[in-house]
Amino acid sequence: MRTLLDFERPIAELESRIDEMKRLAADKNLDVSAATAVLENQLVDLKKETFRNLTRWQRVQVSRHPDRPYTQDYLHRICTDFIEIHGDRQVADDKAIVGGFANIDGHPVMIIGQQKGRNTKERQYRNFGMPNPEGYRKALRLMKMAEKFNCPIITLIDTPGAFPGLEAEERGQGEAIARNLREMFMLTVPVICIVIGEGASGGALGIAIGDQVLMLENTWYSVISPESCSSILWRSWDYKEQAAEALKLTATDMSSNGLVDGIIPEPLGGAHLDHDRMSEILKGEIINRLIALQALSPEERINQRIEKFSKMGVFVE
C-alpha cells in the first residue's frame, strides 16, 4: 500500500477515479479514452499546483516519506561494480553509513551515503540513519582511500542527525565530525555532496564539505530539525510548522542564501513516486558536475572549496 501524506489525498482520490473508470471500461468493453484524458490532464495540473505551493513543513514531510529512495536504492540504479568497504579500523562497522568504490557510466568514484531502513528491523540495524563516530571515521577512511587512487568522491546525505547517545559521545562524536570537516576541505579529488532526504545538523555536515553541494527539490538542510527547534523555543513539538518556516530550511531557501550550489528537480509528485526516473536525473547531474570539476587542478578545487565556505554567513565586528 502506498503511504499518503495529508496533502496527497486529493491526488490519490483523482488517481483512484481514473483507475476505476479504466477498469469499468475494460470490463464492459467501452471507450472512455477521451474522458480519462481529461481527468489525467487534471491530475497533472493538480500535482503541479500542489507541489508548487508546499509549505516548508510539508517539504520536510516529503523528505521523510517512507517510500522515498534511500542511498542503497540509488546505488543499485546508478552504479555498476559497487564494492562495499566496511569498518573504520578502530571500533566497528557503522551500518548507518555505507560506502565503497563504484562505476557511474565509466567514471570510477567512491560513493558514501547515510542509509535508513524500510521497516522496524532495518531501522534498528541502520540506527535510523544516525551515524556513530565510527561511521564518520569510516567515511573519512574511504575518502582518504579514494584520494590515494585519485578517485572522485560522491556523498549522499540523509540523516536526522548524528547519534546523540552517551556511548557516541564517549567515543568522540564531536571530534570525529570536526576532523571530517577539516580533512574534506583539503581533499585533492573532486567532491560532490548531495542531500537526498534529511540534512540535519553536524550529522549531515560531517560528509557534506564539497566542491559542489546540491539538494534534491524536496529536501531540507538545517542546523536543527523543526521538532527539536519547537521543543527548545516553545517546550512542545506543536509548533514545528512555525519552526520550519522560521528556519528557512528548504532547497530554495538554501540556494537563495548561497549555502548550496544547485537544486536537483524531482519527478512530478516527488522522488518517492518514481525511483527509476529520480535515479536517472541524479545520475545525469553527477556526471555533468563531475566532468566540470575534473577539468580543474587539485589546487584550484581546494582554493575554490575553501573560498566558497568562507563566504557563508554574516558577521558584524
* Per-position pLDDT tens, the chain of length 317: 688 999 999 999 999 999 998 888 888 888 878 888 899 999 999 999 999 999 999 999 999 999 999 999 999 999 999 999 999 999 999 999 999 999 999 999 999 999 999 999 999 999 999 999 999 999 999 999 999 999 999 999 999 999 999 999 999 999 999 999 999 999 999 999 999 999 999 999 999 999 999 999 999 999 999 999 999 999 999 999 999 999 999 999 999 999 999 999 999 999 999 999 999 999 999 999 999 999 999 999 999 999 999 999 877 77
What DSSP character marks residue 107? E
Cell of 147: 584520494
What span, in angstroms and rounded, lies between the C-alpha atoms of 65 and 274? 13
- Residue 260 has phi, psi (to 5 degrees) of -130, 160
Tell me whether strands 220-222 and 191-200 are parallel, antiparallel or unpaired. parallel
Residue 20 CA to residue 26 CA, distance in Å, equals: 10
Helices marked H in 67-206: 71-78, 120-125, 133-148, 166-170, 173-185, 201-205
pTM for this one?
0.93
